[in-house]
Structure 1
Amino acid sequence: MNNPAERTALGPMVIVAADQYATTPLVPDPWAATLLPAPTRFVAAATRWSPVRRVLRSATDKQMAGGWESFLCRKRYIDDQLRAAIAKGVEAVVILGAGYDSRAYRLPELSGIPVCEVDLPRNSAAKAAALNRACGGVPAGVTLVPLDFETDDLADSLQRNGFGTRRRTFYIWEAVTQYLTEPAVRQTFEYLAHAAPGSGLAFTFIREDFLAGRQLYGAQRAREQFVVKDALWRFGLDPAHVGPFLAKYGWREVDQVGPAEYTDRYLRPAGRDDPVSEIERAVYAEH
């Protein structure tokens, strides 16, 4: 049975592809459009024309105020944390919910470091087909693992594919937690509790007050679609409670970022003054 969350992997990568035509791309990514399925790849190609980019940006920001820049900034932030972890000697990378993300292929710092990309079975199959079309197969050093966080055994799947918990590993969990039930999120953290000392984790979360409808942050349309109508977004956190939540699983919150930090670190230096969504935040933690 298809999981409706599968299709949500496409939109953010179209935005990354479109941003390649900006004067200063926040996430330089020559692979962004390449890995997308054909119909979406054509849309991404059309974004080379500024009127098309403006229409897509407007549609994104009408649904979620500041959503366009938010998607880009969270990816840039996680890239930065990953690069820092590699410099400190991380031995493996596990991307939980990889979608059509291209980190494993576009970051030269990952050369020689084994990477595991975990995602829903249909997305993993589509990624494998895209890589076969683009470069003749999945590159050496990258392993694709099909898995449903709600029903499958993450520990067993990673262990069978050579990604146990003995090596210092950098885990990436980008734009996934909101699609899961709380038991599935906690089950994943139960696994992460066994990570090797010196491991790192970068993940994103949706604010709990937004999911509950107490604060809408200019994202009324997004809440109506993803929370009320489709019931896709199911898990959220209070930013102030992230540290204690992580501590239960042996992780220490090192950094948490949102609109203010993204603006200071990425947008202002690039001469960009567009707003960033308030509903999603990113965290870097160490084990």
Structure 2
Amino acid sequence: MNLVPAGKAATYLALLRAIESNRPENKRLFYDPFAKLFLPSSLRLVEKLSRVPFLNSFIAWFIDRNWKGALTCCSARTRLVDVMIENTIHDEGVNQVIVFGAGYDSRALRLKLKKRIQFVEIDHPSFQAEKREILDKNRRRNGREAMVNYVPVDFETQELDDVITQVFQQGHYKTMFVWEGVTNNLTAPVAPRAFDYFKRFRPGTIIVFTYVDKEMLEKPEKFTGAVSVTKLLRHNDEFWNFGIDPASIKEFLASYNMELLHNLDTPTFRRMYFGDDAIDMKGYEFYRVAMARVR
């Protein structure tokens, strides 16, 4: 599972979020001022160039040519998960958001929420320490440091129940899990442990997670751009190991006492946020965002 050091995958995602954030204010889908802080020197130049509108468009074109759909999928999915968090907090009375395998996610700091929410970030100890050091160094916590609880977990060697305090399961918490960009890095024996942990939270607990179509892992050539994505991952010694069949996700979740609320593919959430421009956007059709509820 990706609760080991996140490596280059988290860095690439931070770059994509930074590029989207540098689009004109009336066009960008979200604004993440923290993403650029996590970039190594080799990628900082790309981020700085993307601040110039015509160069931003060129960089987006170049990324799409080499990794079809990666940027538009990342941008639309980030926006979708942002909206899911905001709406669920408002509609369901959520007062605790646990970001599982947080990576360089900065929603605890950047989302402008109307009520006080406890955020918990769970990630590998060394990666989490690096992230906190970068944030401290840049003094970009917006006065909300006390609202973020950091829990270091090495999932390969530790059990969640042994490390994560049961305080987060107390009855006064209405919890939402955000598990973005992590499930596809799971190994098959590990996946049940994570879902089994989620189901032990009180009924009504919400889980938002991303996953890849299982068929993409077996036959990447059937999906636009999937072969180049797997090559890039392999080049960086990172692999997508776990997928779910979209047709059987209801049954999969039911086995963990959960019900499926939403199951959106990339073309759908691209249309939601890019409108008619999404018609010509291809790639990453295998990537999905789902929302479930503990029964």
Equivalence for 2:138: 134
Contact 2:271 2:278 in 1 (8 A): no
* Residues 242 and 145 of structure 1, relative CA distance in 2, 3 Å threshold: same
Task: State the shift of 1:30 in Å.
Answer: 2.6
Structure 2 unaligned runs (5+)? none
Q: How do 1:49-88 and structure 2 match up within 5 A? A: 49-50=52-53, 52-87=55-90, 88=92
1:246 aligns to 2:253 (yes or no)? yes
Structure 1 unaligned runs (5+)? none
Task: State the shift of 1:20 in Å.
Answer: 2.0
Give me the whole-angstrom Cα distance separating, in 2, the residues matched to 1:124 and 1:82: 22
Task: State the shift of 1:102 in Å.
Answer: 1.1
1:159 aligns to 2:165 (yes or no)? yes
Aligned residue pairs, count: 284
Q: How do 1:1-287 and structure 2 match up within 5 A? A: 3=4, 5-23=6-24, 24-36=27-39, 39-50=42-53, 52-87=55-90, 88-109=92-113, 112-135=116-139, 139-159=145-165, 162-164=167-169, 166=171, 167-213=173-219, 215-226=222-233, 230=237, 232-268=239-275, 274-276=280-282, 277-287=284-294
Give me the whole-angstrom Cα distance separating, in 2, the residues matched to 1:200 and 1:131: 28
C-alpha deviations, 1:195-215, integer Å up to 9, x for none?
A: 112211110011111101262
C-alpha deviations, 1:233-278, integer Å up to 9, x for none?
A: 1111111111111111111111111133213311107x66551521
Give me the whole-angstrom Cα distance separating, in 1, the residues matched to 2:241 and 2:120: 26
Contact 1:26 1:76 in 2 (8 A): yes
* Residues 151 and 165 of structure 1, relative CA distance in 2, 3 Å threshold: farther
Task: State the shift of 1:132 in Å.
Answer: 0.6
Give me the whole-angstrom Cα distance separating, in 2, the residues matched to 1:30 and 1:282: 24
- Secondary structure of 2:149's match? strand
Percent of aligned positions that are identical:
29
Give me the whole-angstrom Cα distance separating, in 1, the residues matched to 2:288 and 2:168: 27
C-alpha deviations, 1:42-76, integer Å up to 9, x for none?
A: 43233213454345434432443211110111111
* Residues 114 and 200 of structure 1, relative CA distance in 2, 3 Å threshold: same
Q: TM-score normalized by structure 1?
A: 0.88
* Residues 189 and 3 of structure 1, relative CA distance in 2, 3 Å threshold: closer
* Residues 45 and 259 of structure 1, relative CA distance in 2, 3 Å threshold: same
Supply the AA of the counterpart residue of 1:203.
F
RMSD value, Cα: 2.6
Contact 1:150 1:180 in 2 (8 A): no
Task: State the shift of 1:180 in Å.
Answer: 1.4
Task: State the shift of 1:39 in Å.
Answer: 5.0
* Residues 90 and 3 of structure 1, relative CA distance in 2, 3 Å threshold: closer
- Secondary structure of 2:168's match? coil
